[in-house]
Amino acid sequence: MELIVARDREDLVKARRGGEVALVPTMGALHEGHRSLIRQARVRADQVVVSIFVNPLQFGPNEDFSRYPRTFEADLDVCRAEGVDVVFHPDVEEMYAPDRQVSVSAGPMGEVVEGAHRPGHFDGVLTVVLKLFNLVRPDLAVFGQKDAQQLALIRRMVADLDLPIEILGAPTVREPDGLALSSRNRYLSDDDRRVALALSRALRAGAAELAPAAIRATAREVLAAAGPRLEVDYLALVDPETFADVDESYEGMAVLAVAARVGATRLIDNVTLTLTRGR
């Protein structure tokens, strides 16, 4: 079937057909990581909807909203190649009324780790995701594990608000050199990229350790060795459901997460590991 591009609510209603619907929310500039999300959706659903919307609510005043890459025609080619049924591509006015007053609060989990460095970011994320859920009415939605805190908060929102949507998490896709795929990678020069590889090296090194203190210390050593061009915002070892820091007595799944700037580009990455006292 021909790819349908829906730009408003009426177009979405016309595009919807029977069967299970999967939504893959994106901000465009699609890459292999997005393709992996679409493929997971395609396996599960009768109809796959990809949203392409650069959401102003999740950008702070000094962040890169205006220069965030917008490659709509290339994104459509990706969607056609992956068998997407509908692309929802609204403008800001379609998504947000000028007198908008109500937003979703991410609560305490939205104020730690990534949220501590980007106040209000997760409120903006959850607000747009809830609106997309209400507009598209999917049975399931697919998000990437690279944005681990975002994924945890979306799952919490779905549970707390009793939304009848299954949330699937897809593994992080990496480039051959280990750099996590991101639409922002295109901002990196060759020298920037070499510096940025310290993020994935630090995560691998930390994950090879046994205890939380050693995990953190080893990862920090790798980040420090990258030199002053790598400006680290945080390195955190947290519970994957609450994003609270774990202590030496913690057992179970944990997320080792990092965020740093290389020049004007801010990157995030994480790995999931299992902690046991005898590990």
The answer for 255, left when phi > 0, alpha when psi is -120 to 50, beta otherwise, is beta
Distance from the Cα of residue 238 to its chain's centroid: 17
Ligand-binding annotation for 145, yes or no, is: yes
Distance from the Cα of residue 104 to its chain's centroid: 17
Ligand-binding annotation for 140, yes or no, is: no
Tell me the C-alpha distance between 237 and 210, whole Å. Answer: 13
Considering 34, 89, 117, 121, which one is annotated as catalytic? 34
Ligand-binding annotation for 31, yes or no, is: yes
Choose among 241, 235, 273: nearest CA to 257.
235
Structure tokens that stand for 147 in this block:
């944005």
Ligand-binding annotation for 200, yes or no, is: no
Torsion of CA 161, 163, 165, 169, to 10 degrees: -10
Distance from the Cα of residue 247 to its chain's centroid: 26
Ligand-binding annotation for 29, yes or no, is: yes
Tell me the C-alpha distance between 240 and 15, whole Å. Answer: 36
Ligand-binding annotation for 58, yes or no, is: yes
Ligand-binding annotation for 32, yes or no, is: yes
Tell me the C-alpha distance between 102 and 123, whole Å. Answer: 11
Ligand-binding annotation for 47, yes or no, is: no
Ligand-binding annotation for 34, yes or no, is: yes
Ligand-binding annotation for 189, yes or no, is: no
Ligand-binding annotation for 150, yes or no, is: yes
**89 carries an active-site annotation:** no
Ligand-binding annotation for 103, yes or no, is: no
Choose among 186, 177, 194, 171: nearest CA to 33.
171
Tokens 């205006």 sit on residue: 66
Strand runs labelled E in the chain: 4-6, 21-26, 47-52, 86-88, 140-144, 166-170, 230-238, 252-262, 265-275
Ligand-binding annotation for 169, yes or no, is: no
Which residues fall within 8 angstroms of residue 217, CB to CB, at 6 or more apart? 209
**Residues placed in the known binding site for beta-alanine:** 58
Known binding positions = 27-34, 58, 144-147, 150, 173, 181-184
Q: Which residues are annotated as a binding site for (R)-pantoate?
A: 58, 150
Provide the annotated binding site for ATP: 27-34, 144-147, 173, 181-184
Catalytic residues: 34
